[in-house]
Structure 1
Amino acid sequence: MPELRKRQAPEPATGNFTKRPNSSTTNVNTKSGDVDRQVAKNSKIAVGEIINSAGLGGEIETHEGAKVTLQSLLDECGRSNLVIFTYPKASTPGCTTQACLFRDEFATLTESGLKIYGLSKDSPKSNTTFKTKQNLPYALLCDPKETLITAIGMKKSPTGTIRGVVVIDKAAKIQGFYQGGPAATVEYVRRFVEDSKNSRDGTEGAKPDYVAEDKGGQIQADVAAQVADTAQELDN
């Protein structure tokens, strides 16, 4: 009878590992100028983190074909905060709603010191058509290889882009991060502006759960938009 040999257990891996935080909602005191920040599960960035903006996300293009990086976008912002909202596909119903809501709020948001960009994996041609047709006042970023989309935690598994928004200040510190529907992403930025203003004024405004609150049927509209986008992506 052949001799049975006991298999040796593999040796434990060695090295330095950083345990990342679990999915959570980070509640930040509005007296410091922050609102409640939702941190996505498996995100590669977290609110309060200072990122390596010089290398994060690699090189992408604007809708006009100009080469840019996250660092060059921050340099262009100067003292303003950089706002990047992500959308799955140009000219689909939900993405059109989201882009047009940012368009309609553009003056109010930018006069408070924000620089706004849209980001998707669409080509410059598709995003140029989208921008022109919808008369969007901000630049659109094109990331067909999803390098920046992935780096900021907006990559959908196994493929696609999560709708959301990230706010980064001049020091490359993440000031805001949220994933949600078309109207909710715009409302998140609006509340970011409102809470930042309250902080500068030395006042503390009310802090309702604005994401969960269904103002004028926004939640139902967002869900319908997400379903329409998914259906169109499947058709394509």
Structure 2
Amino acid sequence: MAPRAKSTTEAAEPIRRSSRISAQPKSEPAKEVKKAAPRTKKRSADEGDGEDTTPAVKKSKAEEAAAEAPDTEESNEKAAQLASIDVGDTLPSFTLQNEKGEDVDVATLSAEKGVIFFLVPKADTPGCTTQACGFRDTYPDFTAQNFAVYCLSADSPNAQSKWQTKKELPYPLLSDPQRVLITALGAGEGGKTKRSHFIFEKGGKLVEKKIPVKPADSPKLALEYVKSIAAAA
């Protein structure tokens, strides 16, 4: 028996189904989304495996200022090293820098001759220049009486050196930035230096002090006292 012939509809069905399937858009495979790897700090060659890589915490301005500020206790301890020096007391051993940045033990200055310290509030200011130039102009008179002259202030050695050169000051200048010796002499108050002068005889005993004193009077009064010592001797 011959097989039944497919009807027109049945024969066309596969074609239509095939057309429908081919007409559908091909679905593309989903693209794989790559996650960005976390950024890591590049290690330097000398970093160890066990080194703490925690980022540094930025300090506040107040914390930075506190870190840079001088140690108050240390400064106070340094200032307390010298007791008060009054008439009759001996010049203690204490090291300061001169205008050249050289260390000077003030106790050694009076070993061979008398010493005069004149103190100024600030180098190269009008009143201080008047006082300094007064000692400059009478400097030969002091040396003739076997007395050395020193300017003492809280200025830096560099500032003192410039002032010395500018005004042709023939004597050394001593820098006491923490006002340790200045305070011991009684001329440091409220972070300032009182204009004054102090006379130590040979051997280091304080015999005369003028505090405060006027700029023009300081060299004159100091010289008068030195001459009176020579006359008495």
For residues 145 and 93 of structure 1, what CA distance do their matches in structure 2 show?
23
Give, as a single letter, the amino acid of the residue that structure 2 aligns with 1:175.
V
The aligned counterpart of 1:46 is 86
The aligned counterpart of 2:101 is 65
CA shift in 2, pair 1:52/1:92, >3 Å: closer
Map 1:19-168 to 2 at 5 A. Answer: 44-47=84-87, 49-51=88-90, 53-54=92-93, 58-75=94-111, 78=112, 80-156=113-189, 158-168=190-200
Give, as a single letter, the amino acid of the residue that structure 2 aligns with 1:90.
A
What's the TM-score once normalised by structure 1's chain length? 0.60
CA shift in 2, pair 1:172/1:135, >3 Å: same
Identity %: 33
The aligned counterpart of 2:207 is 175
For residues 52 and 125 of structure 1, what CA distance do their matches in structure 2 show?
26
Match of residue 219, structure 2, among 186, 194, 204: 186
List per-residue Cα deviations over 1:82-137 (Å, max 9, x = no partner).
11000000000000000000000001121111100000000011000000000000
Structure of greater relative contact order (alpha carbons < 8 Å, 6+ residues apart): 1
Give, as a single letter, the amino acid of the residue that structure 2 aligns with 1:53.
P
For residues 220 and 133 of structure 2, what CA distance do their matches in structure 1 show?
13
For residues 52 and 160 of structure 1, what CA distance do their matches in structure 2 show?
22
- Residue 51 of structure 1 and its aligned partner are, at CA, apart by 2.4
Q: How many residues are paired up?
A: 150
Give, as a single letter, the amino acid of the residue that structure 2 aligns with 1:155.
G
For residues 72 and 194 of structure 1, what CA distance do their matches in structure 2 show?
23
Gaps of 5+ in 1: 1-42, 201-236
- Residue 73 of structure 1 and its aligned partner are, at CA, apart by 2.1
Question: Segments of 4+ in structure 1 off by > 6 A?
Answer: none
Alpha-carbon contact 2:133-2:167 (below 8 Å) kept: yes
CA RMSD in angstroms, aligned pairs only: 1.5
For residues 140 and 91 of structure 2, what CA distance do their matches in structure 1 show?
30
CA shift in 2, pair 1:63/1:74, >3 Å: same
List per-residue Cα deviations over 1:26-50 (Å, max 9, x = no partner).
xxxxxxxxxxxxxxxxx93222x23
Give, as a single letter, the amino acid of the residue that structure 1 aligns with 2:109.
L
Give, as a single letter, the amino acid of the residue that structure 2 aligns with 1:136.
L
Give, as a single letter, the amino acid of the residue that structure 1 aligns with 2:181.
L
CA shift in 2, pair 1:191/1:135, >3 Å: same
For residues 201 and 91 of structure 2, what CA distance do their matches in structure 1 show?
13
- Residue 72 of structure 1 and its aligned partner are, at CA, apart by 2.5
SS at match of 2:163: helix
SS at match of 1:115: strand
Gaps of 5+ in 2: 1-82
- Residue 194 of structure 1 and its aligned partner are, at CA, apart by 2.5
